[in-house]
Amino acid sequence: MLRGIIQLTTEEVLEIEKAINSKSFADTPLGSKLSYINKEYQAINNIEVSEEDLEQLLDEIMPIDSSNKTLFFAMEKVGNLLRQLRSSNI
């Protein structure tokens, strides 16, 4: 399983949580990490994620309303990290 670190602002984490189905996501490792971030406020959050975590986020949230710039940039980071992980595995 491929793993990496994604840096998200607290605002980006909040937008991701708003966009996902929290009931289906709450019991996942990534869901727990996102909930923890909301309790421990930091401007920038380094989150260890797996390839599956990133895929799940993309599947759950895409497509994005282009007017939500915060969510757009957060999901751009998710996609970029997923591509980076996959290209490093070649």
CA angle at 64 for the pair 62 and 14, rounded to the nearest 5°:
95
Domain count, the chain: 1
> The domain containing residue 24 runs over which residues?
3-88
Helix H or strand E encompassing 34: helix 29-39
Residue 67: other Cβ atoms inside 10 A: 7
pLDDT tens readout for residues 57-89? 898 888 888 899 999 999 999 999 999 999 987
pLDDT tens readout for residues 28-39? 888 877 777 766
User: Is the model's pTM score more than 0.85?
Assistant: no
State the virtual CA torsion across 59, 32, 68, 72 in degrees, nearest 10: -60
Torsion sign across C-alpha atoms 80, 24, 11, 46: negative
